[in-house]
Structure 1
Amino acid sequence: MLDLKVLEAAAQWYVDLRDDGSQAHLQQAHQQWLERDPRHRQAWARVQKLDQTLAKVEPVVAKPLLAGIHSNRRDTLKVLSVLLMTGGSGALVWQLTPWQQLKADYRTERGQRRSLNLDDGSQLTLDTNSAVDVRYSAQLREVQLYSGQILIETAKDQLARPFIVHSAQGSIRALGTRFLVRSDGERTQVEVLQHAVEVRPDAVPEQAVHVSSGQRLSFSAQHAGTLEPARPYADAWSRGLLVVSDWRLADFLTELSRYHPGHLRAAPAIADLRISGIFQLKDIDGVLDNLATTLPVRVNRFTRYWAQLEAR
């Protein structure tokens, strides 16, 4: 099995040769590196396979990484190394894990949470499997959400700079507030816990929507969506809890899966059972065992990470 250091070296050679591969001494040094260790050839084979993959994916996806070779070599090497660890065929991984997410300022893995105190005193909490960039300038305070969910509590800024969260679908401007933003696939959801925000979809920024405390809005890049009541205890995850009231069991397990490094599902026969309660996200195995004592279900664990609830 190839270790990370060998893959990082292969990524370094890829960047160097792409940047200045016409130099004879560089090509000779690369050949000597290949001949020094069989693992080097294996790693380089992954590089070549990855290069073929990048040639096939959409330019809008591949171009930012290749452009980064000249603008930010450290970030590019980091992304290449991660992709090489997947085997170099990474088209699927590439699409599911965008390069921006891999090199984001702040990230959490599945099941992790992270709280940050920003420079202006605002607080930012990342939910499971989330990634953000934070950019403060003389004019703006900006957070770019690439994936996952965040909880923001803005502080009063001495420079009176607007606080804006960007997602793939649009922007959310805080109006002195505490709010949640969640990005899933083609939609972004905002839930306001205090005060208000202003939402602008990317394709129709003139369709600004005012979302007040106790309201939520799900929007796409083309459509602003409809205001709905916010969910009770929507921010419970920031305290390590999942609070549900009369949820379908299948929906409950889908949400619980976001915090579990594996696969959870309900058999079709019990998918519509209803569930309410407060559950600890740090002990998902305990949650499943508890369900087996309170519902007519049993837990079938196929592996450590794959479990299915079935009728008893």
Structure 2
Amino acid sequence: MLPDKLTASDDVPTLDVAIQEAIEWEVALRAGDVSSDERARFENWRLADPSHDAAWAKLQARLKKFSALEGASSAAVRRAVDEPSHTRRRLLKIGAGVATGVLAGVGTKELIKAFALDADLHNGDAAPENVALDDGVRLTLGASTRVYVPAKGPQGDIFVASGQIATGARAEASSLIAVRTRDGMVQTSTAKLSVDALRTHTVVAVQGGDAILTDRNGGRVKAIDGTAWSLSSHRIQRMPETSSDIFAWTTGTLVVLDRAVPDVVETLGRYFKGYVRFPSAALSRRVSGVFPLDDIEASLRQLAEGLGLSLSFYGKALAIAT
């Protein structure tokens, strides 16, 4: 029998998304060419939730301790990628020191929580990794995936902090598996699951059986075999892809239908490993396509060209679409 409400184990930290967003706004606002519209978006973000304002205030208080950060700006990074190679290396080295200061300023505890650095399972490679848990659950971990396995939780209970997993056959087919993300939970005793913890929502695909999806507010939906769903903290919505489309990542292909561009950029970025930047106007659009995950630079170019953009690579660390 499925539980009526989501439960949180003490072993699984709550990811502080507000801290991550505050860091990103700090970087963006330090640029010398910030528009009034972008500043208005920042104010809207800060006032939209008390946790946003608190995260921003906390970050600013910590950054004040680092005098080396004074005068640093994201414009310096943009200058660096336009300079000759020997000058670029010097500037990026300086930029790396500034970045280290920012991270130190946020605090070790916050970083561990925000980026799940203490996760029980972590795949740092581009190739999927297959693992078997003590209770018989078999998992495939995608690139940059971090998973917690609560010691005090029931068997088959895991938390996907970031990245994408697929569940396989179980030693006991009748036993329940519950996969949770910050957006909610999916439970099944029969189906294979693909669970992708994206920044704005979780994508769930169900194959070989049915499952129950539950959001953070207690809303529930029965997901039938072959379907794909978007699970957010307050909404569960059917997606146009089939479960076969979603599961294609396990064999090296990303398939999306009418998907928001930030979803695709985030997913491809896990395999690129460096920093990927697309202009704000492109991030409001939606795309469909098939992207090979074993040639990530080609996939990023494919995405950019489909949006009418050009893409420049600066080594393996930076990809900028314009």
Secondary structure (helix, strand or coil) at the match of 1:255 reads helix
Task: Quote the RMSD (CA, aligned, Å).
Answer: 4.0
Secondary structure (helix, strand or coil) at the match of 2:186 reads strand
Kept in 2: contact 1:248–1:275 (CA 8 A): no
Are 2:313 and 1:301 aligned? yes
- Residue 107 of structure 1 deviates from its aligned partner by 0.8
- Residue 122 of structure 1 deviates from its aligned partner by 3.3
Moved more, 235-244 or 190-199: 235-244
What code does the residue aligned with 1:118 have?
L
CA distance, structure 2, for counterparts of residue 250 and residue 140 of structure 1: 34
CA distance, structure 2, for counterparts of residue 254 and residue 90 of structure 1: 25
What code does the residue aligned with 1:176 have?
T
Of 196, 203, 221, the match for 1:182: 196
What code does the residue aligned with 1:104 have?
A
**1:108 equivalent in structure 2:** 123
User: What is the correspondence of 1:64-75 to structure 2 with a 5 Å cutoff?
Assistant: none
- Residue 260 of structure 1 deviates from its aligned partner by 1.1
CA distance, structure 1, for counterparts of residue 281 and residue 225 of structure 2: 38
**1:164 equivalent in structure 2:** 178
Specify the structure having the higher radius of gyration (Cα): 1
Are 2:138 and 1:123 aligned? yes
Secondary structure (helix, strand or coil) at the match of 1:131 reads strand
Secondary structure (helix, strand or coil) at the match of 2:116 reads helix
**1:228 equivalent in structure 2:** 239
Of 254, 279, 282, the match for 1:242: 254
**Relative to 1, partners in 2 of residues 1:140 and 1:86: Cα closer, same or farther, differing over 3 Å?**
same
**Relative to 1, partners in 2 of residues 1:293 and 1:117: Cα closer, same or farther, differing over 3 Å?**
same
| Greater relative contact order structure (CA < 8 Å, 6+ sep) | 2
Show structure 1 runs of 5+ residues with no match: 1-55, 58-84
**2:289 equivalent in structure 1:** 276
**2:149 equivalent in structure 1:** 134
Kept in 2: contact 1:214–1:229 (CA 8 A): no
Kept in 2: contact 1:149–1:180 (CA 8 A): yes
**1:285 equivalent in structure 2:** 297
**Relative to 1, partners in 2 of residues 1:165 and 1:304: Cα closer, same or farther, differing over 3 Å?**
closer
**Relative to 1, partners in 2 of residues 1:142 and 1:154: Cα closer, same or farther, differing over 3 Å?**
farther
**Relative to 1, partners in 2 of residues 1:289 and 1:169: Cα closer, same or farther, differing over 3 Å?**
closer
Identity of aligned residues (%): 25
TM-score calculated relative to the size of structure 2: 0.55
**Relative to 1, partners in 2 of residues 1:239 and 1:99: Cα closer, same or farther, differing over 3 Å?**
same
CA distance, structure 1, for counterparts of residue 180 and residue 261 of structure 2: 32
